[in-house]
């Protein structure tokens, strides 16, 4: 999953604007996340261990799923140049290996004087919300992103 980059500036945003991306969770994703973070909880890595849990099988790290929100923010809405300020997360249900996660980010509020956007974030599997929350990002204006163009204008 390498989403195509789309750059939106603060003046391009409007309440209700949304973007969705889908990602099917592979074993290699979960193993890679464990290697990068050091979170080697066997519920993520050992089918034998996970079979004895209430989930019955291995599950993806919750923060891996949350990281998919970052993929949307950094590549599509608002995209390159956006600065993450904060994120709230509510973990609602597990994500299993092989699940396809649909990540939707929607502009909920714009704060022009600070160039901030508050975005609702939802991750769902087969229509069931597995994670939700809100992100706050700083979004550059066109003039900030290309000061030379702003002087010519």
How many residues belong to the chain? Answer: 153
- State residue 146's pLDDT score: 74
d(C-alpha 121, C-alpha 131), whole Å: 8
pLDDT at position 91 is 98
Q: How far apart are CA 99 and CA 57, in angstroms?
A: 12
Domains in the chain and their CATH numbers?
Answer: 9-143 (3.10.129.10)
The list of the chain residues with pLDDT below 70 reads 1-3, 147-153
The reported pLDDT for the residue numbered 149 is: 54
How confident is the model at residue 103, as a pLDDT?
A: 98
Contact 98, 120 (CB under 8 A): no
**Which pLDDT value is given to residue 147?**
64
- Straight-line distance from the first to the last Cα atom of the chain, in angstroms, rounded to the nearest whole number: 37
C-beta separation of 60 from 24 below 8 A: no
Which residues lie closer than 8 Å to 64 by C-beta, 6 or more apart? 25, 29, 30, 33, 95
pLDDT of amino acid 145: 80
Q: Is 80 in contact with 7 (CB distance < 8 Å)?
A: yes
């Amino acid at each position: 999953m390498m989403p195509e980059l789309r750059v939106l500036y603060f003046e391009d945003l409007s309440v209700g604007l949304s973007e969705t991306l889908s990602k099917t969770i592979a074993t290699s994703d979960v193993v890679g996340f464990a290697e990068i973070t050091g979170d080697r909880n066997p519920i993520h890595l050992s089918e034998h261990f996970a079979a004895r849990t209430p989930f019955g099988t291995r599950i993806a790290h919750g923060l891996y799923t949350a990281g998919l929100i970052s993929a949307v923010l950094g590549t599509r809405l608002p995209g390159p140049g956006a600065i993450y300020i904060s994120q709230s997360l509510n973990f609602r249900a597990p994500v299993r290996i092989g699940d396809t996660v649909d990540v939707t980010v929607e502009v909920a509020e714009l704060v022009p004087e600070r160039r901030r956007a508050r975005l609702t974030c939802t991750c769902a599997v087969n229509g069931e919300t597995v994670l939700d929350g809100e992100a706050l990002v700083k979004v550059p204006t066109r003039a900030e992103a290309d000061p030379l163009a702003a002087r010519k204008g």
